Chains A and B, each alone.
Chain A
Amino acid sequence: MMISPYPVATIFGVLIVALTIAAGLIWLERRLLALWQDRYGPNRVGPFGLFQVMADMIKIFFKEDWIPPFADKTIFVIAPAIIMVTVLMSFAVLPIAPGIVVSDLNVGVLFILAMSSLGVYSVALAGWSSDNKYSLLGALRAAAQMLSYEVFMGLSIMGVVLLAGSFNLVQIIDAQRGLWFVIPQFLGFVLFLIAGVAETRRLPFDLPEAESELVAGFHSEYSGMKFGMFFVGEYLGITLISSLIAILFLGGWLGPILPPIVWFLLKTFLLICFFILLRASLPRPRFDQLMTWGWKVMLPLAVANLLVTGAIVVATAQGRSF
């Protein structure tokens, strides 16, 4: 695997593109939701309302950055930074096109899982340090939800790892030259998609910040750019999960005619639109339903998927001579 000769350029390229996409998603989500709900959405500032994001950003940067006097100040400040750090670190191992990857890590898949499990601290600590009952309830929900869905999130992609025979994301893409893993691992694909929505705390799994019951959940007390970091962190999370699904199940950059990077961005973009469509169309479950669903349906399915895939891999490997 060839690594780009300009590592610093790659790092900044990935950083800037990821942050720009996350910011652009704020506009895209509002426009798409509006389209599906038969209204216009932001359409006044600039062409197609594109500068709305800029206006929002200027507003959020100049807002008073208020820390509640009853909060645990250090943790209150650190919490929003954790989500940004963990998500942006995960982008480091994503292969975007041949040769464009910040770190071609051998345990790339596990690295992303590790970072996503550290992301739980952000919401849990944010809710705890706010010292507010709604925040605490949101944080409790977030911690329980993310912990439960992480378990089968990891298990659901082990089928892909078995088939590719590697934790390395570049080798996983290379293993999909003949057939995308979405076909042999369709169950794993569906499980990972659901776990991904739950990990990014998007609707229908946005119970940690359910407005109708918890004000704004774990970030009720946050304002200004600290709130902005949770906000951008969520969109970065969507981008990350979408590109991860594209890499693990849809062949990453593989595709005919068009250049590899275009294929990768196209697949990621379509998955992001699907995430937004989910928000536009699905209602929120109750929290006990969410937990039951995770532990009693998804986890056994993920284990069964892993066992069957493992059995098939072992059976076909014994047929070969080695």
Chain B
Amino acid sequence: MVLTFYVAAVIAVICTALMITRLKAVHALLYLVVSFLALATVFYTLGAPYVAVLEVIVYAGAIMVLFVFVMMMLNIGDRAIQIERAWLDPKAWIGPGILAAILLAELAYILVAPAGSPGIVPEVGPKEVGIALFGPYLLGVELVSMLLLAGIVGAYHLGWNAPGEVESLYAMESSRQRAVVSGDFVRAGVDRPTDTP
């Protein structure tokens, strides 16, 4: 299991790095998906199969599919690749690089530090997480769910059209197009109200 852990971990790191440096958005997304799958394997080898499967279902399977969905509709061409190339300018790496190096140093310190030293907290399993969420923090969980509900209602409101309103708009537009493009005089005026002269 130790070997599988390290293989999956290395794949996760490589994929995440590739994800950042890819110029094509879809390729970057695919590397991110593979990174999630590798992370799921890491969870599994650490003895958390439930978290591993949830990682695949929620992140790799649902959220990333939505990303791909949006990406498909945007029709990103060569110009976007040029912009990406400009963004990945070597100078842009300096700031994040320094911050990431600090984090890496901190991680190395934590791993090397003896187990009893201050700053090292005991492990928290999924059961403790569940008990904490639905025990003392129940109010917080409920508030978050209210927020999500508000988001859903808001999205629904933005996407809602009065039935009939849209159809008449389409009808007007299409009859106009017929008149312009094909010179179809017969059906060009179907949207005109019947009571006007």
Chain A residues with a Cβ under 8 A of chain B? 72, 74-75, 105-107, 110-111, 113-114, 117-118, 120-121, 124-125, 127-128, 136, 139-140, 143-144, 147, 150, 154
Contact = CB atoms under 8 A, between A and B. Distances in A.
Contact of A117 (B65, B68, B69, B72): B65
Interface string B64-93: 011011011100000000000000000000
User: Majority SS of interface residues in chain B?
Assistant: helix
State the 5 A-B residue pairs at the shortest beta-carbon distance, nearest first: A117-B61, A114-B56, A110-B53, A114-B57, A128-B72
A143 B54 contact: no
A143 B61 contact: no
Contacts of B61: 114, 117-118, 120, 150
User: Majority SS of interface residues in chain A?
Assistant: helix
B57 A121 contact: no
Nearest to B64: A121
A143 B62 contact: no
B33 interface: yes
Contacts of A154: 57
B172 interface: no
A136 B62 contact: no
Contacts of A136: 72
Given A72-B26, A143-B65, A154-B57, 6 more contacts: A107-B53, A117-B61, A124-B68, A125-B68, A128-B71, A147-B65
B67 to A, nearest CB: 10
Contacts of B72: 124, 127-128, 136, 139-140, 143
A120 B65 contact: yes
Contact of B62 (A105, A111, A147): A147
A170 to B, nearest CB: 15
A117 B57 contact: yes
Interface centre among A75, A110, A136 (most CB of B within 10 A): A110
A140 B73 CA distance: 8
B65 to A, nearest CB: 5
Nearest to B52: A107
Contacts of B57: 110, 113-114, 117, 154
Nearest to B62: A117
A127 B72 CA distance: 9
B50 interface: yes
Interface centre among B49, B61, B73 (most CB of A within 10 A): B61
Contact of B68 (A72, A113, A143): A143
Given A118-B61, A120-B61, A140-B72, A147 B53 contact: no
Contacts of B33: 121
A105 B49 CA distance: 9
B133 to A, nearest CB: 18
B60 interface: yes
A144 B26 CA distance: 18
B79 to A, nearest CB: 16
B151 to A, nearest CB: 16
A89 to B, nearest CB: 11
A121 B56 contact: no
A72 B30 CA distance: 13
Nearest to B50: A107
A259 to B, nearest CB: 32
Given A124-B65, A128-B72, A111 B60 contact: no
A150 B61 CA distance: 10
A128 B26 contact: yes
Given A75-B30, A118-B56, A147-B62, A110 B69 contact: no
B49 A107 contact: yes
Contacts of A128: 26, 68, 71-72
Interface centre among B30, B62, B66, B69 (most CB of A within 10 A): B69
Given A121-B68, A143-B68, A110 B73 contact: no
A60 B109 CA distance: 59
Contacts of B56: 114, 117-118
A243 B57 CA distance: 21
Contacts of B71: 128
Contacts of A111: 53
A136 B61 CA distance: 20
Contacts of A114: 53, 56-57, 60-61
